[in-house]
Structure 1
Amino acid sequence: MTYELRDHTADVAVEATAPTLSALFAAVADGLTAAGCESVPPDAGERFSLRETAESREALLFDYLDRLIYERDVRLVLPADHECRVIEPEPPTPADGSEPTYAVEASARGVPLDAVVAREVKAVTYSEMALERRDDGWYAYVVFDV
């Protein structure tokens, strides 16, 4: 899995590829970490877990990244070293008309903000967001407001 930071007007974007959807979520989250800090100490911080659900893959990625920003603000840590497991709904979708539910179960190492020189990433945006399956795996492009 790989990610690259891309300049985007006054914002920053993360472009990522990975062989699986779970690895893609982790790669985009790693890109968010890189957007917030040049260098992460390898041993600082403790792991924490989280779970998010949504009605589409795109909404799930948005909600997951938004939750990481929230955790940063509440815990005063920079989430790093992301591990993700994306759970997709079983086909077919329920016959009662309800929307399928996607979920991500994830963990990150919470590096104390006082241990890094952090830049503020204010929010994840839907602006130009892309999340798609490709022949060789998965691709995402996400813009963050800085």
Structure 2
Amino acid sequence: MGYQLREHTADVAVEASGGTLDAVFAAVADGLTAAMCDEVPAGEGDRFDLDVRAENREALLFDYLDELIYERDVRGVLPVDHEASVSEADDGDGEWLCEATARGVPLSAVDARDVKAVTYSEMALEPTDEGWRAYVVFDV
């Protein structure tokens, strides 16, 4: 379980697996971090929270990753050490919710590469015998 970076024409892809939706969301986010930076300093940076809602699980994964890229740009930090809790919203509207945290390492403390955006190109989020699998392509 975890993630692997995959070559994808001019872009980069992350293939991830986890025993739960929570684990696979966090693993894809860890893969996003790895696509942006080879080495992350331990312990540097403060944790921050994210709350994302979307109409289905795939849109939720897209919006979660998009929010991490937005936080990188706005806060000037590299989001690392991801934790995610994914659930169907209780209000009966069929939406999904991701409550997540990450540690924000200042970009000045790392040698980071630019990942421009998450894409829907070839995106997959599917159950497996072991839990969940995700495949996400990022525009670099």
TM-score between the two structures when normalised by the length of structure 2: 0.97
Residue 82 of structure 1 is matched in structure 2 by: 82
Give the paired residue count. Answer: 140
Residue 18 of structure 1 is matched in structure 2 by: 18
Residue 131 of structure 1: which of 122, 125, 130 is its match? 125
Residue 66 of structure 1 is matched in structure 2 by: 66
Letter in 2 for 1:138: W
Unpaired runs of at least 5, structure 2: none
Check if 1:4 corresponds to 2:19: no
Check if 1:121 corresponds to 2:115: yes
Q: Distance in 2 between matches of 1:144 and 1:70?
A: 14
Q: Distance in 1 between matches of 2:133 and 2:17?
A: 5
Which contiguous aligned blocks of 4+ residues in structure 1 show a shift greater than 4 angstroms? Answer: none
1:43-76 CA-partner distances (Å, limit 9, x unpaired)? 1100000100001000000000000000000000
Per the TM alignment, residue 89 of structure 1 is displaced from its structure 2 partner at its CA by 4.1
Per the TM alignment, residue 32 of structure 1 is displaced from its structure 2 partner at its CA by 0.2
Letter in 1 for 2:55: E
Q: RMSD value over aligned CA atoms?
A: 1.2
Check if 1:106 corresponds to 2:100: yes
Q: Distance in 2 between matches of 1:126 and 1:68?
A: 16
Letter in 1 for 2:37: C
SS in 2 for 1:12: strand
Q: Distance in 2 between matches of 1:109 and 1:138?
A: 24
Per the TM alignment, residue 80 of structure 1 is displaced from its structure 2 partner at its CA by 0.1
TM-score between the two structures when normalised by the length of structure 1: 0.93
How many percent of aligned residue pairs carry the same amino acid? 69
Residue 40 of structure 2 is matched in structure 1 by: 40
Unpaired runs of at least 5, structure 1: none
SS in 2 for 1:132: strand
Q: Distance in 2 between matches of 1:58 and 1:111?
A: 27
